[in-house]
Structure 1
Amino acid sequence: MASGSRAIAVLDVDGTLTPSMLGIELLRTLNQDGACQATDVSALNALVDRSRTERGTSSARTIAAANDGFAAVLAGLPATHVADAARRTWRRVEGDLFPFVPGLLATLRAHGLHIVLLSGSPHEVIQAMADRLGVRTCQGAVMAAPGGVYDGRVQLPTGVPGVKRRTLRTLLRGHRVDAARSYALGNSAADAQVLHLVGIPMAFEPDQRLRARAERAAWPITNRHSVVACTQAALRRAGPAHDTKGKVNEC
């Protein structure tokens, strides 16, 4: 390990740490507040569902359209209102967090990894989640709010394929990262580029596209019942210098 460097653990959120899509849950809270319509929630949920069945540029366009739609729903709302709604949203859905999450976070911390939550859901609700879990570094999608009021523009679409990787590099700028001993966990093709960056990648209950990539790359494929044990074993194997050449089968 390079002197002064540190291993990180990059965790996807929607479908990986929680079964719910936090961006949609935030919209439901805003609908309850009277700040958006139920039809907005349904339309954006349909776009998210469609993106999961599409491939390549079609999926990327649909995800981008969902981001644009979310930004349009927020247009005119005060950022303080949305931040408060995000905190209330997380309190409402916190119980849906997969039971393995506390054990996973404890394992990663015990091995000295710096945890990063990286999600395509809006940053406001990812920040609320991170605050409750004691995670200092997180990033979700950012909608522009100049002067504290959303203006309908997307500033950072982290859910679009390729953006997570660039976002992670920005978050860690100026820090020395021990990539060989770093860890990443994700469930969709949007997470693949981040998984490529680390020495300990894990595909969690992957969608069809990520499963295919994981099988080609010989990444571990895990699930909610085995992920903590698989992570513990992988971190023990990594030691001070992780060897990524050996094939790891599904666990």
Structure 2
Amino acid sequence: MSNELKVAVLDVDGTLYPGALGVELLRALMAADACDRTRAEGVFDVLRQYKQGAIDFSTMAARAYTLYARALEGVRCDTVDALARKVWEEERRKLFGFVRPLVSLLREAGYWSLIISGSPQEMIQCVADELGISQARGALFSRSEGHYTGSVDLSSGALGEKSRIFDAVTRGQEVRLERCFALGDSITDSALFERLGLPVAFEPEPALQVLAQQRGWAVATREDVLERTRMLLAAPAPGSPPRG
């Protein structure tokens, strides 16, 4: 039993950070005239259509990732890497106050933390480095000979992708799914929530809020997420014999 892995999966955008880091990176790229402006503006247009209810989530994700990749076509990878670090230096102070205590709490409870979020890997890696988390997966855009090709390798924020990423990262490990923890705010987190024993919907978007109510998942805010996490981690796993 001691060899079985307890994993804590953490979302970033809207969960650890009050916004979308990929959006901030794209704004910085546009400001530096370092990407295709028309395609970059197309990403923002797609996001607006989704917020207005004109398109569904799956359509939004597919179009946004495709346009983001095309906006980066031909751009030097080191240019984006450097801009990502610069953006993070500006945005790191916006991490919610509970984040570092939460990461420490999970570590002390024997959890191996994994970040999976929809923003580009270039940004998500900055968050992981900041928090001392060894594994992080964000969106991957194809690279060749030091430049972006205009294609998408991994749409980490698309529906169902987080569950597949979890399987890929933990392949070969004995994972205690009923004791695994997940924290996220959107419908993209639902596939993982369905599988893992300790899901927490953080200030959930409406679609996830409905599912959380239906499934009986814990719901938390930035004020009470630490206490709710402590309670979840302390509770016996389903099917465990009573203590004492």
TM range (shorter): over 0.9
Distance in 2 separating the partners of 1:53 and 1:175? 42
Cα deviation for residue 156 of structure 1 reads 0.6
Q: Is the 8 A contact 1:7 1:177 kept in 2?
A: yes
Cα deviation for residue 39 of structure 1 reads 5.7
The aligned counterpart of 2:114 is 116
Cα deviation for residue 226 of structure 1 reads 0.4
Amino acid of the structure 1 residue aligned with 2:27 = R
Select 1:243's aligned residue among 228, 238, 243.
238
Distance in 2 separating the partners of 1:102 and 1:211? 25
Distance in 1 separating the partners of 2:173 and 2:48? 36
Q: What do the CA deviations read for 1:63-88 (whole angstroms, capped 9, x no partner)?
A: 11000111011100111111111111
Moved more, 33-42 or 6-15: 33-42
Check 1:54–1:111 CA distance in 2 against 1; reply closer, same or farther (3 A cut): farther
Check 1:114–1:51 CA distance in 2 against 1; reply closer, same or farther (3 A cut): farther
Check 1:114–1:231 CA distance in 2 against 1; reply closer, same or farther (3 A cut): same
Distance in 1 separating the partners of 2:107 and 2:178? 17
Distance in 1 separating the partners of 2:239 and 2:41? 43
- Identity, in percent, stands at 34
Superposition map of 1:77-226 within 5 A: 77-226=75-224
Moved more, 153-162 or 37-46: 37-46
TM, length-normalised to structure 2: 0.92
Check 1:145–1:235 CA distance in 2 against 1; reply closer, same or farther (3 A cut): same
Cα deviation for residue 165 of structure 1 reads 0.9
Cα deviation for residue 179 of structure 1 reads 1.0
Q: Is the 8 A contact 1:67 1:154 kept in 2?
A: yes
Select 2:63's aligned residue among 45, 65, 69.
65
Q: What do the CA deviations read for 1:183-214 (whole angstroms, capped 9, x no partner)?
A: 00110011100111211011011111101111
Distance in 2 separating the partners of 1:225 and 1:68? 36
Q: Is the 8 A contact 1:14 1:20 kept in 2?
A: yes
Q: Is the 8 A contact 2:35 2:75 kept in 1?
A: no
Moved more, 57-66 or 199-208: 57-66
Cα deviation for residue 3 of structure 1 reads 4.5
User: Whose strand proportion is higher, 1 or 2?
Assistant: 2
Amino acid of the structure 1 residue aligned with 2:22 = G
Cα deviation for residue 176 of structure 1 reads 1.5
Distance in 2 separating the partners of 1:19 and 1:103? 17
TM, length-normalised to structure 1: 0.90
Gaps of 5+ in 1: 246-251
Gaps of 5+ in 2: none
Cα deviation for residue 40 of structure 1 reads 4.9
Q: What do the CA deviations read for 1:196-245 (whole angstroms, capped 9, x no partner)?
A: 1211011011111101111111001111100001001111114xxx1289
Q: What do the CA deviations read for 1:37-83 (whole angstroms, capped 9, x no partner)?
A: 6665543233234435659x832011110001110111001111111
Q: Is the 8 A contact 1:8 1:177 kept in 2?
A: yes
Q: What do the CA deviations read for 1:8-63 (whole angstroms, capped 9, x no partner)?
A: 100111000101210011112212322036665543233234435659x8320111
Distance in 2 separating the partners of 1:244 and 1:147? 52
- Count residues with an aligned counterpart: 240
Distance in 2 separating the partners of 1:49 and 1:21? 14
